[in-house]
């Protein structure tokens, strides 16, 4: 199991993410990739503080959430 923190996720969503991080994550099985609801909350909060909140929220909904498993707060 790999639990990604907010820094890792925001890096992946950048226009030019870290090549090393992308390489490491791409070698993982989807069923081993997790984020927490806390991380989702931090990303949503950061989206609203950015200059393009709708763009960031769309990326979250359309790219990130379908690609990982989500751990609830009480897991």
Whether pLDDT at 58 is above 80:
yes
Residue with tokens 């990739």: 33
Of 70, 72, 66, 64, residue with least CA distance to 8 = 64
**What distances in angstroms separate CA 44 from CA 23, 38, 49, 53, 61, one per listed residue?**
25, 10, 9, 8, 10
What confidence tens digit (pLDDT) does each residue in 31-51 have? Answer: 999 999 999 999 999 999 988
Burial class (CB in 10 A: 0-12, 13-18, 19+), 50: exposed
Which of the four pLDDT bands, split at 50, 70 and 90, describes residue 75? low
| Full-model pTM | 0.82
User: Alpha carbon 38 to chain centroid distance?
Assistant: 11
**Eight-class DSSP state of 13:** T
Judge: domain 2-71, CATH 3.30.200.20.
Answer: no
């Amino acid at each position: 199991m790999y639990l990604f923190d907010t820094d890792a996720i925001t890096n992946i969503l950048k226009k030019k993410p870290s090549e090393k991080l992308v390489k490491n994550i791409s070698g993982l099985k989807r069923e081993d990739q997790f984020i927490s609801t806390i991380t989702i909350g931090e990303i949503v909060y950061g989206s609203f503080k950015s200059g393009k909140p709708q763009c960031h929220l769309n990326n979250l909904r359309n790219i990130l959430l379908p690609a990982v498993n989500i751990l609830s707060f009480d897991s």
